[in-house]
Amino acid sequence: MIYGRILFPSSKLCTFESSKRLLEQPNFELQNIYRSLEVIAKESDFIQSQLYKNSLAVSKRNDRILYYDCTNYFFEIEQEDGLKQYGPSKENRPNPIVEMGLFMDGDGIPLAFNIHSGNTNEQVTLKPLEKQIIEDFKLSKFVVCTDAGLSSNANRKFNNINGRSFITTQSIKNLSSFKRVGFRTNWMEAQ
């Protein structure tokens, strides 16, 4: 299934149908693909850390700069169910959503992700996943880059210790007038 998703990214059903055209046809049914998703979900953290460790044997990873962002996915359902909860949708849809937080390395290659209920504030999702990266991936010194929505005091403090740093976007129009003047005075255009 993993090879199918890499070679021919598509739905589970299409992956199953494509497997019938392989030279050596696998011996499984569509239901086995769906059942395997439970196992993959339970082992997700282990799979992510092993992918990272094994990728180091193939190529150097740019893991000194990490990008983190969140997005959400909506479901065409009316009732909340498990992680699918009503929350602030980025598409302003009135449907239950789940939220995904994703860390990427400096080259934009995914490092780790986590899924949260749709009613979770995205600011509280960064720290647990970052702790997982520190522990499972054995990374300690890096710069975390986020958008302003993830720039909480707790996230900045957490990334101001042990060789870690934090960079976030800042809207100029939201700065105090004193800082706005200082910013414009010291501004240099990149050549």
Q: What tens digit of pLDDT does each residue of 5-33 get? A: 788 789 999 989 988 888 888 888 999 99
Instruction: Report CA 97 to chain centroid distance, whole Å.
Output: 16
**Over the chain, what is the mean pLDDT?**
89
Mean pLDDT of 26-43: 91
Residues contacting 173, CB < 8 A, separation 6+: 180
pLDDT of residue 191: 46
CATH classification (class only), 60-185: alpha beta
Angstrom distance (rounded) from CA 57 to CA 43: 22
pLDDT (mean) for 33-37: 91
2: confidence class by pLDDT, cuts 50, 70, 90: confident
Handedness of CA 53, 59, 64, 69 (dihedral sign): negative
Greater model confidence, 92 or 170 = 92
The structure tokens 């995904």 sit at: 100
Query: CA-CA distance, 147 to 67, in Å (whole number)?
Result: 9
Nearest to 54 by CA among 114, 7, 109: 109
**Residue 43 pLDDT > 90, yes or no?**
yes
Confidence of residue 182 (pLDDT cuts 50, 70, 90): low
Q: How many CB atoms lie within 10 A of CB 136?
A: 16
Six-digit token pair at 143? Answer: 């710069």
Tokens representing residue 121 in the block: 């504030």
- What pLDDT does 184 receive? 64
Q: Give residue 189's pLDDT.
A: 53
Closest CA to 26 of 43, 1, 52: 1
Q: With a threshold of 0.85, does the pTM exceed it?
A: no
| The two three-digit tokens of residue 14, written as one number | 């299409």
In the chain, list all ranges with CATH 3.30.420: 60-185
Considering 34-38, 67-71, 89-93, 160-164, the range whose residues carry the highest mean pLDDT is 67-71
